[in-house]
């Protein structure tokens, strides 16, 4: 099946710990994105990547880091510097940036603090 796979579905973080959320796509999409979703709010962009080995900060990048070593993969690390990490994290991809192509989403990872 073609699509975007996020793992794990649920993740718990201890104080001072870094955690990494996985996002893999087999849609052959060039662009990938990470969003954060809080209750009652729209999606807020954390980071995005147009091509391999390149990524840019979104609106709320502080406390997060990403890498794009492969076209299919765009992992997100929530660092200990992110003081309010509890949220639903969504990964998305699109054919290319700048062409108004729709973004397609994975099923999300819910991160909670222990």
Partner 1 sequence: GQQLNQSPQSMFIQEGEDVSMNCTSSSIFNTWLWYKQDPGEGPVLLIALYKAGELTSNGRLTAQFGITRKDSFLNISASIPSDVGIYFCAGSTSGTYKYIFGTGTRLKVLA
Binding positions for partner 1, rule: CB under 8 A: 4, 6, 31, 35, 40-45, 48, 50, 56, 58-60, 90, 92, 97-100, 102-108, 110
d(CA 34, CA 93): 9
112: helix, coil or strand?
strand
State in angstroms the smallest separation of the CB of 48 from partner 1: 6
Complex with partner 1: residue 52 or 80, whichever CB lies closer: 52
CA distances (Å), 35 to each of 23, 38, 44, 61, in order? Answer: 12, 10, 5, 10
Residue 102 CB burial class (10 angstroms; 0-12, 13-18, ≥19): exposed
State in angstroms the smallest separation of the CB of 59 from partner 1: 4
State in angstroms the smallest separation of the CB of 16 from partner 1: 28
Complex with partner 1: residue 78 or 94, whichever CB lies closer: 94
Complex with partner 1: residue 30 or 80, whichever CB lies closer: 30
């Amino acid at each position: 099946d073609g699509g975007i796979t996020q793992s794990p579905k649920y993740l718990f973080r201890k104080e001072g710990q870094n955690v990494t959320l996985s996002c893999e796509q087999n849609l052959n999409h060039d662009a990938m994105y990470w969003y954060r979703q809080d209750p009652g709010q729209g999606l807020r962009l954390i980071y995005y990547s147009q091509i391999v080995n390149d990524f840019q900060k979104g609106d709320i990048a502080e406390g997060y880091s990403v890498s794009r070593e492969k076209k299919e993969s765009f992992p997100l690390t929530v660092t200990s510097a992110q003081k309010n990490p509890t949220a639903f994290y969504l990964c998305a991809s699109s054919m290319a940036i700048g062409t108004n192509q729709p973004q397609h989403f994975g099923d999300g990872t819910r991160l909670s603090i222990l």
